[in-house]
Amino acid sequence: MRQQKEEADFMHLNDNGQAVAGGAAFCFAALFFLVYSVQQFRQKGRVLDPVILALEKEKREKTLETGRAYRESAHLFLFFTVICLLVGLALMFDSGWLAMAASVQAVVGALAILLKRIEQV
Protein backbone atom coordinates (compact mmCIF):
# COMPACT_ATOMS: atom_id res chain seq x y z
CA MET A 1 0.00 0.00 0.00
CA ARG A 2 2.78 2.41 0.89
CA GLN A 3 4.61 1.64 -2.37
CA GLN A 4 1.49 2.55 -4.39
CA LYS A 5 1.27 5.88 -2.57
CA GLU A 6 4.92 6.65 -3.33
CA GLU A 7 4.38 5.79 -7.01
CA ALA A 8 1.28 8.00 -7.12
CA ASP A 9 3.24 10.88 -5.58
CA PHE A 10 5.98 10.40 -8.17
CA MET A 11 3.50 11.01 -11.01
CA HIS A 12 2.81 14.58 -9.85
CA LEU A 13 5.79 16.78 -10.64
CA ASN A 14 4.16 19.82 -9.07
CA ASP A 15 5.00 18.53 -5.60
CA ASN A 16 8.68 19.34 -5.99
CA GLY A 17 8.29 22.51 -8.04
CA GLN A 18 10.10 21.39 -11.20
CA ALA A 19 6.97 21.46 -13.33
CA VAL A 20 5.97 24.87 -12.00
CA ALA A 21 9.39 26.27 -12.88
CA GLY A 22 9.24 24.67 -16.33
CA GLY A 23 5.73 26.02 -16.84
CA ALA A 24 6.85 29.50 -15.81
CA ALA A 25 9.72 29.30 -18.32
CA PHE A 26 7.31 28.33 -21.11
CA CYS A 27 4.96 31.18 -20.14
CA PHE A 28 7.89 33.61 -20.20
CA ALA A 29 8.83 32.35 -23.68
CA ALA A 30 5.19 32.84 -24.73
CA LEU A 31 5.37 36.44 -23.54
CA PHE A 32 8.56 36.99 -25.57
CA PHE A 33 6.94 35.46 -28.67
CA LEU A 34 3.82 37.60 -28.17
CA VAL A 35 5.85 40.82 -28.00
CA TYR A 36 7.81 39.84 -31.10
CA SER A 37 4.61 38.90 -32.93
CA VAL A 38 3.04 42.28 -32.16
CA GLN A 39 6.17 44.00 -33.47
CA GLN A 40 5.94 41.97 -36.66
CA PHE A 41 2.27 42.90 -37.11
CA ARG A 42 3.35 46.55 -36.78
CA GLN A 43 6.13 45.84 -39.37
CA LYS A 44 8.92 46.70 -36.96
CA GLY A 45 12.18 44.84 -36.40
CA ARG A 46 13.87 42.07 -38.33
CA VAL A 47 12.01 39.27 -40.05
CA LEU A 48 13.41 35.94 -38.90
CA ASP A 49 12.71 34.00 -42.07
CA PRO A 50 15.57 32.09 -43.69
CA VAL A 51 14.12 32.70 -47.14
CA ILE A 52 14.12 36.47 -46.62
CA LEU A 53 17.56 36.49 -45.04
CA ALA A 54 19.02 34.56 -48.00
CA LEU A 55 17.79 37.09 -50.58
CA GLU A 56 19.98 39.82 -51.99
CA LYS A 57 19.63 43.21 -50.31
CA GLU A 58 17.52 44.80 -53.09
CA LYS A 59 15.12 41.87 -53.35
CA ARG A 60 14.89 41.65 -49.56
CA GLU A 61 13.90 45.32 -49.26
CA LYS A 62 11.37 44.96 -52.06
CA THR A 63 9.87 41.88 -50.40
CA LEU A 64 9.69 43.56 -47.00
CA GLU A 65 7.89 46.58 -48.48
CA THR A 66 4.88 44.43 -49.36
CA GLY A 67 4.38 43.45 -45.72
CA ARG A 68 3.67 39.81 -46.58
CA ALA A 69 6.85 38.58 -44.91
CA TYR A 70 6.00 40.52 -41.75
CA ARG A 71 2.50 39.01 -41.64
CA GLU A 72 3.80 35.48 -42.12
CA SER A 73 6.41 35.98 -39.41
CA ALA A 74 3.82 37.49 -37.07
CA HIS A 75 1.46 34.55 -37.57
CA LEU A 76 4.28 32.08 -36.95
CA PHE A 77 5.33 33.73 -33.69
CA LEU A 78 1.70 34.01 -32.60
CA PHE A 79 1.47 30.25 -33.21
CA PHE A 80 4.56 29.76 -31.00
CA THR A 81 2.92 31.97 -28.36
CA VAL A 82 -0.19 29.80 -28.16
CA ILE A 83 1.78 26.56 -27.99
CA CYS A 84 4.20 27.81 -25.32
CA LEU A 85 1.34 29.22 -23.26
CA LEU A 86 -0.63 25.97 -23.41
CA VAL A 87 2.41 23.85 -22.54
CA GLY A 88 3.37 26.21 -19.71
CA LEU A 89 -0.11 26.19 -18.21
CA ALA A 90 -0.33 22.40 -18.61
CA LEU A 91 2.90 22.01 -16.65
CA MET A 92 1.97 24.53 -13.97
CA PHE A 93 -1.51 23.14 -13.35
CA ASP A 94 -0.68 19.49 -14.07
CA SER A 95 -3.44 19.39 -16.68
CA GLY A 96 -3.61 16.64 -19.25
CA TRP A 97 -6.24 18.30 -21.41
CA LEU A 98 -4.14 21.46 -21.79
CA ALA A 99 -1.20 19.31 -22.87
CA MET A 100 -3.47 17.57 -25.40
CA ALA A 101 -4.69 20.94 -26.68
CA ALA A 102 -1.08 22.06 -27.15
CA SER A 103 -0.29 18.88 -29.06
CA VAL A 104 -3.29 19.26 -31.35
CA GLN A 105 -2.50 22.94 -31.90
CA ALA A 106 1.09 22.08 -32.79
CA VAL A 107 0.14 19.41 -35.32
CA VAL A 108 -2.66 21.39 -36.95
CA GLY A 109 -0.59 24.56 -37.09
CA ALA A 110 2.43 22.79 -38.54
CA LEU A 111 0.28 21.20 -41.24
CA ALA A 112 -1.32 24.55 -42.06
CA ILE A 113 2.08 26.22 -42.41
CA LEU A 114 3.38 23.36 -44.54
CA LEU A 115 0.36 23.47 -46.86
CA LYS A 116 0.66 27.23 -47.17
CA ARG A 117 4.35 26.90 -48.16
CA ILE A 118 3.48 24.21 -50.72
CA GLU A 119 0.83 26.45 -52.30
CA GLN A 120 3.36 29.26 -52.67
CA VAL A 121 5.76 27.08 -54.66
More confident: 121 or 25: 25
The mean pLDDT of 95-113, rounded to a whole number, is 87
Of 90, 67, 77, nearest in space to 37 by CA = 77
Q: Report the predicted TM-score, pTM, of the whole model to 2 decimal places.
A: 0.75
Summarize pLDDT for 3-52 with one digit per residue, the tens: 555 555 545 555 557 778 888 999 999 999 999 999 999 988 888 877 77
Helix count and strand count (H, E) for the chain: 6, 0
**Eight-class DSSP state of 94:** T
Summarize pLDDT for 47-103 with one digit per residue, the tens: 887 777 788 888 888 877 778 888 888 888 999 999 999 999 888 888 888 889 888
